[in-house]
Amino acid sequence: MTKQEIHLIIEAKEGKQAAFKALLNLYWNDIYLFQLSRIHDENLAEDITIQTFSKAFDKIALYKESYNFKTWLLTISKNLQIDELRKKKTPTVSLDNDPDRSHHISDDTPTPEDQLIIEQNLAQLLRYIKQLKPHYQKVINLRYFQELSYKEISEELNEPMNNIKVKILRAKKLLSEIIKTSKNLE
């Protein structure tokens, strides 16, 4: 691992938002492509990737620096994929739906992605949002237009709060990329 990666992990353990975003951006493609190669379903691969980061961020304090971070993420991802296969074979009921156990990822300062999104006029912004996948459109709508909290979005979509946080992080990154690409084409 590079010094930068080690630094990001330390900051993530301290709960710093920027470190979580940087780790998500750094490892997203590796985890997503790993899942896609195993299950050949883009939507399920994306869902498991979101769950991977959600679980990793929730358990970041348990990560030991003696292991490669990417390997740790891949192990989490592989186990989630196995769990997903088991779920499809056998219906189960989770007893672990305690939202208070979620790792707190604060979102109180505008990131560069937030700033870029804010600067767009509403009509243009809505056109950009429509380019996102429907589940990303939904979380952006609930968070920024209906101004729901993470907890409210979690309840509305019946998903764990960490999944919602990761989806919002990813949606903002994708939306920011769409805006930047569009500006470059103008």
Write down all domains in the chain, each with its CATH number in brackets: 3-89 (1.10.1740.10), 107-185 (1.10.10.10)
In this structure, what DSSP letter does residue 64 have? -
**In the block, residue with structure tokens 């409210």:** 152
What's the confidence (pLDDT) of residue 102?
47
Q: Residue 139 has what pLDDT?
A: 92
Q: Is 74 exposed, middle or buried (0-12, 13-18, 19+ CB in 10 A)?
A: middle
Q: How many Å apart are CA 36 and CA 180, to the nearest integer?
A: 27
Look-up of token digits 């429907």 = 134
Burial class of 97 by CB neighbour count within 10 A (0 to 12, 13 to 18, 19+): exposed
Report residues of the chain scoring pLDDT below 50: 95, 98-102
- At position 71, the amino acid (one-letter code) is T
